[in-house]
């Protein structure tokens, strides 16, 4: 069977078979692709340099995300916030992020304006909102508003960053976005490292994370360039979100991503509190290097390693397979880590590292798969829409985990998170059975 049709990468037809440039064959189908015009040949060294800069900027800007979780004991002691208040401060960031991303998705903003400028402006504003928490009037309301604003601005950092990467990488995109998610993971966990060092100076943690976010904006605006595969939207098209939902392949990717997000941010938000219950106030060096915060940072560090490794394996084994395996490991770990005796400190540390490595390993592959199955002219729109939906789900689980832990213990609270990975695996295995899955990872399922 032979069919020929022009295809602007990676827009799919019913055959939904993938090629890079020229002609490729899969299972008897031959597809000739008219590749997207590019601005010039991509020098490998240049695109990896851009990836390094953008990943660094992502790491620096995402230090804002969990800054209040890292200093939660100080906020409870000095501002009188309860554990429920701390949960709402984290939920505030998630809620703001949802609002920011959905506004960007509905307006096609990430495709209609320069993506680097959007990233840079958003990173600086997120840093300002984060630092303002030090000077906020007493009371919970002002702190919550500032955290919501920080989330709104972070909506202009993470998804547009993935779009910039996609503009530089065609082959190896899963690895590249995996590296960026690794940077996001390290950035999210770095406040715990800062907190373990500046135990008594919680304001310093906020100041440093805010300054790093501002530096991230400068790096992206002045040092990062637009990629040769970056294609601006031809026109404003708010209906493209509906097209994404109507298409079964992209819908299944979204379902898989929602299952992943059900678990991820609730785990990230509450694993530090669980580790405090395990290690208490133990420190490695005098009053510095609090053990609970240090282990929490290494959990995030393991996630960074897992993201890069998953990108490497997904390019070889397929995105459906790798995401399914990652969710199986993370969901399985969630089922029992909370039931381990609290005096098994080092066993819990090892299990937490495994959970940290697997819980975020699949994240980049969902985003990469969505870019491979969507119209590249609206790549920024679908990425922001995907992340907005995912973070909307996280609001429920972040709030429910402390309620369950108080009423039934950490075992039940964490096991509850395994529901998401189970549903995510079902969605990705269904996608793997469809011919359209050949459009991902050069035909690997």
Distance CA 283, CA 217 (A): 35
Which runs of E-coded beta strand occur in 245-315? 283-285, 288-290
- What pLDDT is attached to residue 188? 76
Asked if residue 226 lies in contact with residue 113, where contact means CB atoms within 8 angstroms, the answer is no
Mean pLDDT of 216-236: 82
**pLDDT tier at 223, thresholds 50, 70, 90:** very high
**What digits encode the pLDDT tens for the residues 171-209?**
788 888 889 888 888 877 777 676 666 555 778 888 988
Mean pLDDT of 321-325: 96
Distance CA 115, CA 231 (A): 11
**pLDDT tier at 12, thresholds 50, 70, 90:** very low
Work out the percent of the chain whose per-residue pLDDT is above 70.
Answer: 85
R_g over Cα of the chain: 21
Higher pLDDT: 39 or 260? It is 260
Distance CA 155, CA 96 (A): 8
pTM over 0.85: no
Number of helices and strands in the chain (H, E): 19, 4
Q: Which domains does the chain have, with CATH numbers?
A: 1-37 (no CATH), 38-443 (1.20.1250.20)
Q: Give 3-state DSSP helix, strand, coil % of the chain, rounded to 5.
A: 75, 5, 20
- What pLDDT is attached to residue 244? 81
pLDDT at 319 over 50: yes
Q: Looking at mean pLDDT, say which of 225-234, 351-360, 367-376 comes out highest.
A: 351-360
* Residue 22 β-bridge partners: 33
């Amino acid at each position: 069977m032979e069919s020929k049709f022009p295809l602007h990468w990676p827009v799919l037809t019913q055959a939904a078979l993938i090629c890079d440039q020229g002609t490729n064959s899969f299972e008897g189908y031959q597809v000739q692709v008219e590749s997207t015009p590019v601005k010039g040949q991509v020098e490998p060294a240049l695109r990896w340099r851009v990836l390094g800069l953008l990943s660094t900027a992502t790491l620096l800007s995402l230090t804002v995300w969990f800054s209040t979780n890292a200093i939660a004991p100080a906020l409870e002691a000095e501002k009188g916030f309860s554990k429920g208040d701390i949960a709402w401060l984290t939920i505030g960031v998630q809620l703001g992020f949802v609002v920011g991303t959905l506004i960007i998705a509905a307006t096609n903003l990430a495709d209609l304006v320069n993506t680097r400028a959007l990233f840079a402006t958003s990173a600086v504003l997120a840093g300002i909102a984060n630092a303002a928490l030090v000077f906020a009037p007493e009371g919970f309301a002002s702190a919550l508003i500032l955290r919501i604003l920080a989330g709104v601005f972070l909506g202009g950092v993470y998804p547009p960053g993935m779009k910039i990467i996609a503009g530089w990488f065609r082959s190896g995109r899963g690895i590249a976005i995996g590296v960026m998610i690794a940077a996001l993971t390290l950035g999210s966990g770095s406040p715990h490292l800062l907190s373990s060092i500046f135990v008594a100076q919680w304001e310093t943690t906020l100041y440093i994370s805010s300054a790093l976010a501002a530096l991230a904006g400068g790096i992206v605006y002045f040092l990062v360039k637009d990629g040769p595969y970056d294609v601006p939207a031809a026109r404003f098209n708010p209906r493209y979100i509906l097209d994404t939902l109507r298409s079964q392949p992209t819908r299944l990717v979204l379902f898989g991503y929602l299952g992943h997000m059900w678990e991820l941010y609730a785990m990230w938000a509450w694993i530090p509190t669980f580790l405090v219950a395990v290690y208490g106030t133990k420190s490695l060096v005098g009053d510095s290097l609090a053990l609970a915060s240090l282990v929490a940072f290494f959990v995030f560090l393991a996630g960074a390693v897992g993201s890069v490794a998953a990108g490497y394996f997904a390019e070889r084994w397929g995105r459906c397979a790798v995401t399914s395996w990652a969710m199986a490991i993370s969901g399985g770990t969630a089922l029992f880590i909370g039931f381990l005796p609290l005096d098994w400190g080092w066993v819990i540390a090892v299990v937490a590292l495994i959970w940290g490595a697997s819980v975020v390993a699949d994240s980049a592959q969902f985003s990469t798969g969505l870019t491979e199955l969507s119209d590249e002219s609206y790549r920024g729109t679908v990425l922001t829409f995907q992340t907005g939906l995912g973070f909307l789900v996280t609001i429920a689980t972040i709030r429910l985990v402390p309620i369950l832990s108080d009423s039934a213990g950490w075992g039940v609270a964490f096991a509850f998170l395994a529901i998401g990975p189970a549903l995510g695996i079902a969605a990705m295995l269904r996608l793997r059975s469809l011919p359209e899955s050949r459009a991902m990872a050069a035909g690997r399922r």
